[in-house]
Amino acid sequence: MKRNIKNIVNIERLQTLMQKFTDATETPTAFIGLDAEVLVASGWQDICTKFYRGNPDSCKNCFESDTAIANQLSAGKKSNLYRCLNGLTDVAVPIIIDGEHMANLFIGQFLLEKPDKNFFINQAAKYGFNEKEFMSALEKVPVLSEEEVNKKIDFLTELAVMISDLGLNRLKMLELTEDCPATTIITADDN
């Protein structure tokens, strides 16, 4: 059986969970496959959705950043705090199921210090963004302390372990049904 994270993890339930986390903490989240496909997203900042990811040239930076994060996590890191090529900070934690790195869980789109306004003004000019609207979106990006980020990393790491454990259980059930086609296994996901 070809392993696909979309068949192993209940994406709809994860979207609901991550939206609740975002609502409680005002922290954007994502669950992204190793191919950089965004499977779950909640609370994303306008600077990302309306500007960076909405522009083909700056979106290449998003794809490159997501891929770089995934590659570093594939090399065995337990988490990765990363400043993306567009100037925002993300944290990623790997989802490893049965020894295979299959996806990454993210929080992000925040800053660790007051933004360098000149950097972002140059970004607006480089990509043809409306500077006033772009800088207004930048003002909404939270600046988080190291302590806040570390608490969120702790949560994210525990959640990743839980998702990995649940994914392994789901994978084993799928493999059982593949080995015994006449057997039907009903899971909590099916209800």
pLDDT of 167 reads 83
Task: For residue 145, give the CATH number of its domain.
Answer: 3.30.450.40
Domain count, the chain: 1
For residue 1, pLDDT over 60 is answered with no
Crossing angle of helices 117-127/56-74, nearest 10°?
120
Is 55 strand, coil or helix? Answer: coil
pLDDT of 100 reads 87
Which helix (H) or strand (E) element contains residue 18? helix 11-25
Least confident of 48-62, 144-158, 162-176: 162-176
pLDDT of 140 reads 95
Q: Which residues pair with 108 in a beta bridge?
A: 90
Q: Would you say 75 and 65 are in contact if contact means Cβ atoms under 8 Å apart?
A: no
pLDDT of 188 reads 58
Looking only at Cα atoms, what is the longest distance across the chain?
A: 64
Which residue range forms the structural domain that includes residue 109? Answer: 5-190
For residue 99, pLDDT over 90 is answered with no
